[in-house]
Structure 1
């Protein structure tokens, strides 16, 4: 691709971010920090920071109970499975920090002779390996949980998986409108039984549409994280810019699913459709649709 003036400007903007991300990775090995503003800017929240966050948490037990209809006798079993998962996860994170610290020390020794490429490759190797281990931990937990369910509960499994993905993945948006929770917006509206029936079908359609977008974003980001590691290793800023474009595409896909869901549900709610649309847009695009506090004060002053 030719280096046009606009593209050169974009590369100049991204290059410092790559260097900052490299510095952030090195800092993690020393301070155990689980977040990286640089990585969030360059590749989104789905990459570096999430490597240090569990995929299943204690709060998810409530979701499991309601979505799967767990019996009282099943809850202690689920709690035990979760405790085992968290123990393995915490052990894995500590081991990762140790491996990254060793890798950082080794990278420092080879930096003089081999340069930045070898240094970054050395540091990123433990993180890339851990991502695979972490995914396997989640798969094992889900498999163990599923083995404890009865026939009727297994029928609810696909719906539970979608709800869990929303719980885990929806907050990871970087764009306005990407993380809005339309289920929560509907809950806050306290719909009547008739309104609940009216939105049942469009809500089911939106749930499937959003889930597909979230799955696409997650699978794409897994690939893009690897490509970002390669771009960092080679200090290829132009390649990094291309990856950022791809990240933007999958994020827009989630936002588009939410935007479509807003219109579907607003149409189904009839007289309360405008109220729902306003609430949803304020939640998803607060900078645009939510009144600024100063404006509210001015309106109150002139009232």
Structure 2
């Protein structure tokens, strides 16, 4: 097996682990560990005893019905737990058989290579401190080449271990156990629902599809892996406490979302569960193309759920009265995309600055003007990040798994260019610029009262912020409402002693500049 195939196979392993971790509910009782992770959705029950209250609320069960439904759920819970525990034990045993012993020649060779790699790494680190003459550079090159050779040997050992008959047999056993558990899970689900159908009246059965969709949402929405994928639009609307007329207007949009998101969540979950066997087969047969296709399809199904959520929110915003629509839109964005739409440090700083005691009227007016400008700048930056997130987030998740697999194989794990990260960095450039401008308006005491107003450069001085922001569509220009020419030009204008900093005397000149109307946004 080639090293490239070995690396891709390890990527599939990471993908399978990621998939099945997402398929596990938090705090699940019974079992756990690696074997539980590998069995993924097969170990996740479709119904739980705690669902009894939801059944009662939906169907208004009689006392006799309530007792029977409770017993049905209890029997299901106990039977499912017994079956999943048995499957986990079998899967765990298969994994333990793959580990081998310390006396295994392949394991000993791998450990020896790891030690050699660490020794050469230490020598290279020491050589980098010696200087930059030709002899030292040549020594560093030789050590780096030696490390590359060791890394290739480590990859070859891993490939050999992966091809061993014992490991392939263990994977086949695990695949069979997972498939058996999935078949049993489906059978138990059908039996429970069949028992309920017999128990319920016609009127109650008419309410069954709506309850099923609610249970699907409650169980599967929190398992989303993408931004915006986990938003429960129905719950979000309920929390707003709209009046009856508004809710009646929103009802068609909510009903449409309810049906569509339940279908998309079911498709996503079914595919994740059903393709665990495909991923296992890809690892055992080395058919990596099939496994990569599975991961891409999983990402597409997650994007479908997110798109349904986003479209429903857009429709609701359009249907709401103008006095309610913006607040709902803002909350929905913060709920679905908190990394993008949460309140920033610079926004909090401008709000706090306006509350400072003894702030001169002209300075307060300038701060208000700049705050209006930054709202516009950040709104534009946020939409840019949102666009890049929609376009690239799923692919970047796959890239992260690839990097992890590369680290596992001893290879390079350098990050690829990230459009999302570049857009986020560009936003931080804007934030830093406006923080600098705010500091220019305030006295040292006022800056201290606001906590120092540290920029990202101040807080992360070891990172080259300006280089990270390049090429992303923004520049250190102070924003559309900021100082013309950006921070550097502005400092140059008032830095009388040429030390590159603004002292208190120069700050007085800046405040006088604002009193005369300079620097205000048009």
Q: Select 1:68's aligned residue among 45, 59, 65.
A: 59
SS at 1:70 equivalent: coil
Structure 2: distance between partners of 1:115 and 1:35: 19
Report deviation, 1:62. 2.1
1:284 aligns with 2:336: yes
Rg larger in 1 or in 2?
2
Query: Contact conserved, 2:35 with 2:89, CA < 8 A, in 1?
Result: no
- Name the structure where helix makes up a greater proportion of residues: 1
Report deviation, 1:115. 5.2
Q: Following superposition of structure 1 onto structure 2, how do residues 13-28 of structure 1 map, counting pairs within 5 Å? A: 15-19=9-13
Query: Contact conserved, 1:111 with 1:118, CA < 8 A, in 2?
Result: no
Q: Select 1:212's aligned residue among 229, 245, 263.
A: 263
Query: Contact conserved, 1:96 with 1:126, CA < 8 A, in 2?
Result: yes
Q: What residue in structure 1 maps to residue 218 of structure 2? A: 167
Query: Contact conserved, 2:313 with 2:332, CA < 8 A, in 1?
Result: yes
Query: Contact conserved, 1:165 with 1:214, CA < 8 A, in 2?
Result: yes
C-alpha change, 1:90 and 1:127, in structure 2 (3 Å) is same
Q: What residue in structure 2 maps to residue 33 of structure 1? A: 32
Encode CA deviations 1:53-101: one digit per residue, 9 max, x unaligned. 3221233222212222323332221111111011101111221123224
Q: Select 2:79's aligned residue among 75, 88, 108.
A: 88
Q: What residue in structure 2 maps to residue 194 of structure 1? A: 245
1:98 aligns with 2:89: yes
Query: Contact conserved, 1:210 with 1:258, CA < 8 A, in 2?
Result: yes
Q: Which has the higher contact order (CA 8 A, sep 6+)?
A: 1
Report deviation, 1:35. 6.8
Query: Contact conserved, 2:47 with 2:73, CA < 8 A, in 1?
Result: yes
Query: Contact conserved, 2:35 with 2:91, CA < 8 A, in 1?
Result: no
Query: Contact conserved, 1:104 with 1:122, CA < 8 A, in 2?
Result: no
Q: Select 2:232's aligned residue among 160, 177, 181.
A: 181
Report deviation, 1:106. 5.9
Q: What residue in structure 1 maps to residue 188 of structure 2? A: 137
Q: Which sections of structure 1, spanning at least 5 residues, go unmatched?
A: 1-7, 25-30, 40-46
Q: What residue in structure 2 maps to residue 3 of structure 1? A: none
Report deviation, 1:226. 2.4
SS at 2:199 equivalent: coil
Report deviation, 1:270. 2.1
TM-score scaled by structure 2? 0.48
Structure 2: distance between partners of 1:235 and 1:62: 47
C-alpha change, 1:23 and 1:267, in structure 2 (3 Å) is closer
Query: Contact conserved, 2:98 with 2:166, CA < 8 A, in 1?
Result: no
Q: Which moved more, 1:173-182 or 1:157-166?
A: 157-166
Number of equivalences: 279
Report deviation, 1:195. 1.1
TM-score scaled by structure 1? 0.80
Query: Contact conserved, 2:34 with 2:92, CA < 8 A, in 1?
Result: no
Structure 2: distance between partners of 1:155 and 1:112: 55
Q: Which moved more, 1:89-98 or 1:66-75?
A: 66-75
Query: Contact conserved, 1:198 with 1:268, CA < 8 A, in 2?
Result: yes
Q: What residue in structure 2 maps to residue 233 of structure 1? A: 284
SS at 2:49 equivalent: coil
1:256 aligns with 2:255: no
Encode CA deviations 1:132-162: one digit per residue, 9 max, x unaligned. 1112112211221222111110111111111
1:77 aligns with 2:102: no
SS at 2:275 equivalent: helix
